[in-house]
Structure formats: structure tokens, C-alpha cells
Amino acid sequence: MGRLFGTDGVRGVANADLTAELALGLSVAAAHVLAEAGTFAGHRPTAVVGRDPRASGEFLEAAVVAGLASAGVDVLRVGVLPTPAVAYLTGALGADLGVMLSASHNAMPDNGIKFFARGGHKLADELEDRIERVYEQHRTGEPWERPTGAGVGRVRTYEEGFDKYVAHLIGVLPNRLDGLKVVLDEAHGAAARVSPEAFTRAGAEIVTIGAEPDGLNINDGCGSTHLDLLKAAVVEHGADLGIAHDGDADRCLAVDAQGNEVDGDQILAVLALAMREAGTLRGNAVVGTVMSNLGFKIAMEREGLQLVQTGVGDRYVLESMKEHGYALGGEQSGHVIILDHATTGDGTLTGLMLAARVAATGRTLADLAGVMERLPQVLVNVPDVDKSRVSTSAELTSAVTEAERELGTTGRVLLRPSGTEPLVRVMVEAADIDQARSVAGRLADVVKSALG
């Protein structure tokens, strides 16, 4: 069996890869593993379970709830809420476990299961591995120990979760949003109720699009992966800015008043300066990844701040933040982690904080985002090559050195072997898009000849 857990839980096509039986079995296994690890010691365990609006989330939620309750875990069903809301409520309610059913920005047929440990933090890798092993062991025949009578878990709907989470978001805002007009694209996803409610309570005048989930339309031509509708709506309504989430609302991208995209790097740059001003940017540093735009790094250095770069993936950003005590980190894709107020990327919180900065300064989002110049970035995928030889090919090393010399201090080259496919990603940044394309094309040719 291949590893079930990826970098963001278990994910696949619902009812094909991710079945009710798998969801139930993993939930029972998680309960047993956490019990053995001492998480439930001395008390009756509780889990918070939430989902996004995908149709398949209904039967998968039922399977997860059944699995947990059959293993003696009391369940609080919070219904359709964002991933960061489930993480927050797991911590705020003192629960032993959180479970979110979502495939984030993926298309509707997919779904996923993500577990949170006590406090709302991602489960440690070793616990995920143990859950997999225990699940497989019992799937092939060894019977579970099952409680009976009063020992079985009780299930109740926790409707207060919505208000509790929105109150948390409003409570951490540094200032109100009165006078701002904001368009919100909810991707027909998990934040369709939460985000409009939070922005309205914070004082903004809102226009919503993509806020009518029917179980089948999540991420369909809208949200943070499809910004065209939001760009048009912001211009049409004369709004100050637009905010786009993905299906589970752990991401946030923005659009300025002219309809131009403001990506995750630019959002981080704006928030970094706001937090430095407020005295909350610990270590005078922001955490990004190796894919962060060079313009972001240049801007932060000009402002006297450090950009700490990790491998690609918000889990690596979060690990670095926790290890070194940093307060802000994220990715170009819009995963932004504000660690004082969230244990994971929170798109609604990010959008509110960005809007709060616009309101507090009286400056436009375009002006604020102008702190960094986004250098042109070209990404070329080179398939069917021996990616294991990227770091050992003399021909490739020589070509990269030559490209870096040509680009100078205003450009960058990054070669990344894919983690899942036999391909190498060639990323080139330069001050000029034509130069970036030219260098990327030449390097892609060298990758193909040297590693093909």
C-alpha cells in the first residue's frame, strides 16, 4: 500500500480513492493511536468534525463521525466551516482531535480528510504513519476493541461554532473596516457564510460572488484559482478591493481597485510592514518558500527585514515559524499564516487583516502592494528525465552558472525535481519577461539533453 497521508492529509476522488470504509477505518485508527499516545488519558475524549460543502462530504462526515463514536470518542459536529475554523475550534474547545473533510482548491469530485491534534495543530508525521499502520493492520483482519453501553461516543451538533469563530476573527482585528467596499469571492466553498458575516460585522460594505454552494459547484470557475470574475466585479462595483478564497478558505488572494491581482507574496509584504509597525513581527523576519518572488526578498531587505525561505509547502513554512518563533509566513498561492491568531493558513483572517491595513492607512491596496515589484517568473516543466541527477550533472551545473551570471542580482534560477513525477521544474526570474523566457527555454533544453 502506498502512503495514504500526503502533505495535507488524505486526498483522492471521493467514493473511488476516498471511500466511506476508508474514512471510517482511519477515524477508528486515529482514535486508537491517540489513546495509546496518551492524548485521551484521564478523560473522555472529544473530537470536532467539520467539512466543506462538497456533496461527498455528507457521507464522508457520517463515516468519520461513526468511526470516532464507535471508538468511544464524543463528537461535536460543526457542519460546513473553513479548515482554519475547525483548527481554531479544536483548540478553543479543548478537544483532543479535529477532523476536516475537504480537498481545498481541488475540483468537486475530490475530497480529503485532515486531522488536527489537540490545540488545533497538524498531527505529527509519526502519528500519521502510526494511524496508517494501525488502519492497515485492522483492515486485513485483526478485530478492533470496541466499547459498549455508556462507553460509546455521543454525537451532537455544535451550532455555536460559527459564531465562536467569527467572534474570534473580529476580536483579533487591529481596527474596523468602516468606509471600505469589498467584493468577496467565496469559491462556493466553506467560507460562503463565515467570510461575509465577518467582513460585515467588521464594518465593511460587501458584495459577494461565489457564495451559493450547492455541493457541486465548489471552485468551479471562481475563487482563488480563477480570479477573472472577482477582477471584473471589483471594477464593476467600484470596490476598494476584492478577496478570493479557495474551497476550504485556508487561502486568500486579493485584487486591487483597478482589477489587478495581489498575490500571496505581496499580501505578506503588506502585512509584514503592518506587523512591524505594531511591534508584532518577531525577529524582524517573514517566512516564505524558495518559490517566493525575488522582488519580495529585495523589498524586505530594503525595509530592513529578513525573508527566511523554506522548501515548497505551507507545512515547511509552519515548521520554520514554530522552530524560530516567527509570527508571519506563507506562500505565493495565498496560504498566509499569522501564528499569533491561527495555527494554520486562514484565508478569512488574512483578508480581514489586509483590508484593515487599507482602512487604517487610508492608502489604496495598489499603493500598499507597491512596496514590492513582482519580477517576471517563468516556470517550465521538463518531463521524462532522470530527476535524480539534477545536482550531479556537470553540464547542467555549468548552464545554471552561466544563466545566473547573465541574470545578475535582478534574476534567479531554480531547478526543482518533482516530488511525484519524472520531471524537473525550471523556474527563472528576471527583471524582463523576455529575458526570463529566453533563459528558461535554454535551461529546459539543457535539462532535456543532460538528463534525458
pLDDT of residue 8: 77
- How close are the terminal C-alpha atoms of the chain, in Å? 30
Beta-sheet strand order (sheet of 285-289): 306-310, 285-289, 328-330, 336-338
Three-state DSSP class for residue 136: helix
pLDDT of residue 144: 87
Is 432 annotated as a binding-site member? no
Where are the chain's structural domains? Answer: 5-162, 178-369, 377-451
Is 104 annotated as a binding-site member? yes
Across all residues in the chain, what is the average pLDDT? 94
* pTM of the predicted model as reported, rounded to 2 decimal places: 0.92
Is 418 annotated as a binding-site member? no
As a whole number of angstroms, the distance between CA 8 and CA 271 comes to 25
Burial of 278 per CB tally in 10 Å (0-12, 13-18, 19+): exposed
132-154 in b/e burial notation, b at 16+ Cβ within 10 A? bebbeeeeeeeeeeeeeeeeebe
- Bridge-based pairing state of the strands 261-262 and 253-256: antiparallel
pLDDT of residue 1: 44
Q: What sign does the CA torsion over 56, 59, 65, 70 have?
A: negative
Residues in the chain, pLDDT under 50: 1
pLDDT of residue 266: 98
Task: Specify the DSSP element, H or E, that contains 67.
Answer: helix 56-70
Q: What sign does the CA torsion over 212, 213, 219, 220 have?
A: negative
pLDDT of residue 313: 83
Please provide the CATH number assigned to the domain covering 377-451.
Answer: 3.30.310.50
- By annotation, the residues acting in catalysis are 104
Tell me the one-letter amino acid at 308. V
Question: pLDDT tens digits, residue range 270-290?
Answer: 999 999 999 999 999 999 999
- Do 377-451 and 178-369 have the same topology in CATH? no
pLDDT of residue 365: 98
Say if residues 73 and 22 touch (Cβ distance below 8 Å). Answer: no
Say if residues 382 and 447 touch (Cβ distance below 8 Å). Answer: yes
Question: pLDDT tens digits, residue range 409-443?
Answer: 889 999 988 766 778 999 999 989 999 999 999 99
As a whole number of angstroms, the distance between CA 92 and CA 25 comes to 27
As a whole number of angstroms, the distance between CA 375 and CA 393 comes to 28
Fold of 178-369: Alpha-D-Glucose-1,6-Bisphosphate; Chain A, domain 3 (3.40.120)
Beta strand residue intervals within 277-316, DSSP E: 285-289, 306-310
Phi, psi dihedral angles at 175 (to 5 degrees):
-160, 165
- Looking at 3.40.50.2300, 3.40.50.300, 3.40.120.10, 3.30.70.100, the CATH number of the domain 5-162 comes to 3.40.120.10
Is 246 annotated as a binding-site member? yes
